Amino acid sequence: MHVLDLKNSRLTEEELQKNFSDAHPPLTHEQALVEAERCFYCYDAPCTEACPTSIDIPKFIHAIATGNMQGSAHTILESNILGGSCARVCPTEILCEQKCVHNVREEGKPIRIGALQRHATDWQMEHGGQPFTRKPLTGRKIAIVGAGPAGLACAHRLAMHGHDVVIFDKHDHPGGLNEYGVAAYKLADDFAQKEVKFLFDIGGISFVGGKTLGVDFTLGDLQRDYDAVFLSLGLAGVRQLEMEGEALEGVQDAVSFIKTLRSNNKKDIPVGRRVVVIGGGNTAVDAAVQARRLGAEDVTLVYRRGEENMSATVVEREWAQTNGVTVRLWSAPTQIVQKDGVLAGVEFAKRHGNADGKVIYSTEDTFFIPADMLLKAVGQVFHHDPVSGEDIEICNGRIVVDSFYRTSMQGVYAGGDCTAGEDLTVAAVRDGRDAAEAMNIALQKDA
C-alpha cells in the first residue's frame, strides 16, 4: 500500500532556528557609514523617482553618513511608515537600486539602499520611539477593513491628522501579508508585530480581529457608523489547478502553507520528503525554500513559461537555487498522480512550440516528478464576495477607484492589492497613505 511520507519537520530545534533566522543580517553601523559615503546624493535622484512611496533617498542616506540617525529614519517614515518591512521584503534590486547611478559606472555596484533603509528604521524603532504626533482631535471616526500594509499605512496617516481609526480584520493579529504571507526568514524575530506596535504607538488606532466583512458586518453597517471607510482587502482568493486530485492529502495552496508556517511552531509543520511547487512568483519561491528549510530532501519548482516571464525576481530565483531548489521551466502540469488514493507525484508536459501567441505543450512529451507534497502557487485573486450586493464597481476582478481612491460607493475608499496596480508591499503602503490624505481633505470639506 502506498503511504504518504508527510512528517513534522525532520530537523532539530537548533537546525530550524538557524534555517529560519534572518536571511540577510543587518549592516553594522560601521558598514552603514561606509555604504552611505558611497552615495553621490544626486539632485532629482532617479532612485527616489523609482520608489513608489517617493522616499527622499539621498537625504536619508546623507543623514546616515553625518550621524543623524533620527533624521534619516524620519525622512523614510514620513513617506513610508512601514519602511522597516519594505526594506526587508520589497524587491529593491528592481526598484530604487536598479536606478542608482553607480550602475553605469565602472564598478557597476549600486548603493545598498534597502539595507541602509533597514538600518535607519531599525534604529528608530529601537531607540527613538514613535517619531510622529497627532494633530488636534477631529472627533471623526474611520473604519478600515483589512490590516495589511495598505490598511496600516492609511490608519497611521489618518491618526496623524487627528482622526480615530478602527481596523477590522478576519485574522487575530494585524499585519496582513507581512504577518501571514511572507517567508519567515524575511521578517524574522516577530518583526511584523513589532512594526505594528510601533505604528500603533501614535494613538487613536484600535484593532478588532476575527471579524469578516460580509459575515460579521456589511459595508452598509460601516457607512452608518463611521464617517468614512477604507477597504484594503488584499487578494484572499487562490487560483486552483482545476485537476482531479487537488483534494488529496499533501496537496495544498502555497499561501496556506506559508500562513501555517508563520502561525505555528516550525517543529509542528508537516513536510514531505519530495516536494513539488507549481508557480513562478515570489510565493512559489517562498514556499519552495521554506519546504527545503523544514527538512524536505528534494524540492522542485516547476513553471509553465521561461525565466523572463516569472514574476519572481532574479534575486528570488537565485535564492531558490542556492537553497537547493531545482527549477524546471516551460512545463505545464497535466495530471496529479495518485496511487492507492495517495499522492504519488505530478505529470508535466513539455513545451512543443507557439501558436497565435500562446505556448503549446506536447501531450506526448511528458515527464513525471514523484512527490509526497504538492504546493500550488498559481496566483491569487480578489475575493469579491464580501462586497457583493453593494454599490461597489468591480472591473477585471479588482475594485475600481478614481485618482482619489474613491470607490463607486459614497464615502468608501479602497487601495492595495484589491485595486488595480502593482502587487507590491510598498505600492500598498503608498495607496493607504495617499487614500488617507484624500479622505482627510474630504472630511475637512464636509466639516
- Note the pTM of the prediction, 2 decimals: 0.95
Per-residue burial over 379-417, b = 16 or more CB atoms within 10 Å of its CB, e = otherwise: bbebbbebbeebebeeeeebbebeeebbbebebbbbbbb
Among the ranges given (8-12, 176-180, 378-382), the one the predictor scored with the smallest mean pLDDT: 8-12
For 322-372, the pLDDT digits (tens) are 999 999 999 999 999 999 999 999 999 999 888 887 899 998 999 999 999
Label residue 360 left, alpha or beta by phi (over 0 means left) and psi (-120 to 50 means alpha): beta
Residue 226, CA atoms < 13 Å, CB-side half-sphere: 26
CA-nearest of 211, 232, 187 to 439 is: 232
Q: What is the pLDDT of residue 9?
A: 67
At position 302, the amino acid (one-letter code) is: V
Strand partners, 231: 145, 414
Q: For residue 188, give the 3-state DSSP assignment.
A: coil
How many C-beta atoms surround the C-beta of residue 215 within 10 A? Answer: 10
Q: Are 166 and 141 in contact (CB under 8 A)?
A: yes
Residue 133, CA atoms < 13 Å, CB-side half-sphere: 2
Q: What is the pLDDT of residue 388?
A: 81
Q: Which residue has the higher pLDDT, 182 or 9?
A: 182
- Over 60: is that where the pLDDT of 265 sits? yes
C-alpha cell at 301: 519548482
- Over 70: is that where the pLDDT of 3 sits? no
**CA distances to 145, 149, 320, 410 from 416, in Å:** 12, 8, 27, 19
Radius of gyration of the chain from its Cα atoms, rounded to whole angstroms: 23
Average pLDDT over residues 376-382: 94
The DSSP annotation for 296-349 comes to -SEEEEE-SS-GGG-SS-HHHHHHHHHTTEEEE-SEEEEEEEEETTEEEEEEEE
For 132-162, the pLDDT digits (tens) are 999 999 999 999 999 999 999 999 999 999 9
Q: What is the pLDDT of residue 7?
A: 72
Q: What is the pLDDT of residue 446?
A: 84
CA 147 to CA 152: how far, in whole Å? 6
Burial of 44 (0-12, 13-18, 19+ CB in 10 A): exposed
CA-nearest of 114, 95, 102 to 48 is: 95
The beta-strand segments (E) located in 356-406 are 358-370, 373-376, 380-381, 394-395, 398-399
For 349-362, the pLDDT digits (tens) are 999 888 887 899 99
Average pLDDT over residues 81-99: 96
Average pLDDT over residues 287-309: 96
Q: What is the pLDDT of residue 120?
A: 98
Q: What share of the chain is helix, strand, coil (3-state, %, to 5)?
A: 40, 20, 40
Q: What is the pLDDT of residue 83?
A: 98
